Amino acid sequence: MSQPSSSSSSPAAPAAKKKVSVGDLAAMRKDGVKIAVLTAYDYSTSLICDRAGVDVILVGDSAAMVVLGHPSTVPIGMHEMAMFCGAVSRGAKRAMIVGDMPFGSYQPSDEKAVGSAVQLIKAGCDAVKLEGGAEMAGRAKAIVDAGIPVMGHIGLKPQTAALWEGYRLQGKTAGSAARLVKDAQALEKAGVFSIVLEMIASEAAELVTSKASVPTIGIGSGPGCDGQVLVLHDLLGIYEDIKPKFVKRYAELAKPMLDAISSYAQEVKAGRFPQEQNTFHMAPGEAEKMRRQAGK
């Protein structure tokens, strides 16, 4: 692999190197500045997200699906999440890194939850995220009390939805919207600094946002949230198994990637790669010497 270059043709110039903090996100909400959140799972894409001005990089447990090929987020474990978190943290200088706590890493007890959160922080994260409303407020508080910033996640909760009714729109009725407001309030009381609202009817997400005192980050929850989050592979068009309605593909990279990789495979098979410009040679005279010694 070639060495990193300081080429001026990089996608976008970094605005500032100072890390985005919990306080910065609160100020953005107060000033009406929308918060751009995106997932990433490795060093190279983290670098690009950071350069592009993404405020928060979420190392989502969606890695289970888009990186590891599982049918849901349930199977991924702490070891894998910590590895992805470490890689992403080495790529981003400005963006806040939030590590998703995988299924099973916080449900059993407060002690287990704090231990798992500590592991993600040691891996390089600035904060952690866990799924659940009022029922998980105690876990969130235990982690906050240990000094670790926590992002909540309500509405569609993929870790448990996958085990029960599947992926369904939340907040479709006034009663359901009221429960979501209660969930958000319980999390706020526990000390979370932000809450992801996943696949919530936009009117209900707007209500939750207006009642909240911390930034809400929507995914499939309409434009009324304080920020938005998407899964990187969805945005780039390289995960083709599922395409939810809320996803906007800003690129269709699967096809150009397929074309490039097909060209490579064909050129290798045809003996057209590597060429002279891709080849290293021995010092002058050494090749003849080597062949003589080898008896060729």
Among all chains, which residue has been given the structure tokens 């939805």? 161
Pick from 40, 207, 231, 238 the residue near ligand KIV by CB under 6 A.
231
Q: Residues 135, 198, 206, 288: which is the catalytic one? A: 198
Closest separation between CB of residue 271 and ligand KIV, Å? 43
Find out whether the peptide bond into 71 is cis, omega within 30 degrees of 0.
no
Q: Active site includes 198? A: yes
Closest separation between CB of residue 36 and ligand KIV, Å? 13
Q: What is d(CA 85, CA 101) in angstroms, rounded to the nearest whole number?
A: 11
Closest separation between CB of residue 282 and ligand KIV, Å? 49
Do β-strands 150-155 and 216-219 pair in parallel, antiparallel, or remain unpaired?
A: unpaired
Residues 6+ apart with CB under 8 A from 257: 238
Pick from 78, 196, 208, 214 the residue near ligand KIV by CB under 6 A.
196
39 contacts ligand KIV (rule: CB under 6 A): yes
Closest separation between CB of residue 230 and ligand KIV, Å? 8
Pick from 36, 186, 219, 225 the residue near ligand KIV by CB under 6 A.
219
Closest separation between CB of residue 286 and ligand KIV, Å? 53
What character string, x for contact with ligand KIV (CB under 6 A) and - otherwise, covers 47-66?
-----------x-xxx----
Residues 6+ apart with CB under 8 A from 59: 39, 40, 41, 81, 84, 85, 88, 97, 98, 99, 100, 125
| Residue 251, amino acid | A
What is the number of the residue whose Cβ is closest to ligand KIV?
60
Q: What is d(CA 160, CA 73) in angstroms, rounded to the nearest whole number?
A: 9
What character string, x for contact with ligand KIV (CB under 6 A) and - otherwise, covers 85-114?
---------------x--------------
Q: Which is nearer to ligand KIV, 60 or 145 (CB)?
A: 60
For ligand KIV, the binding residues in 110-169 under the rule CB under 6 A are none
Q: What is d(CA 212, CA 219) in angstroms, rounded to the nearest whole number?
A: 17
Closest separation between CB of residue 63 and ligand KIV, Å? 7
184 contacts ligand KIV (rule: CB under 6 A): no
| Residue 212, amino acid | A
Pick from 229, 233, 237, 239 the residue near ligand KIV by CB under 6 A.
229
Q: Which is nearer to ligand KIV, 183 or 198 (CB)?
A: 198
Binding site for ligand KIV (CB under 6 A): 39, 58, 60-62, 100, 196, 198, 219, 229, 231
Catalytic residue set? 198
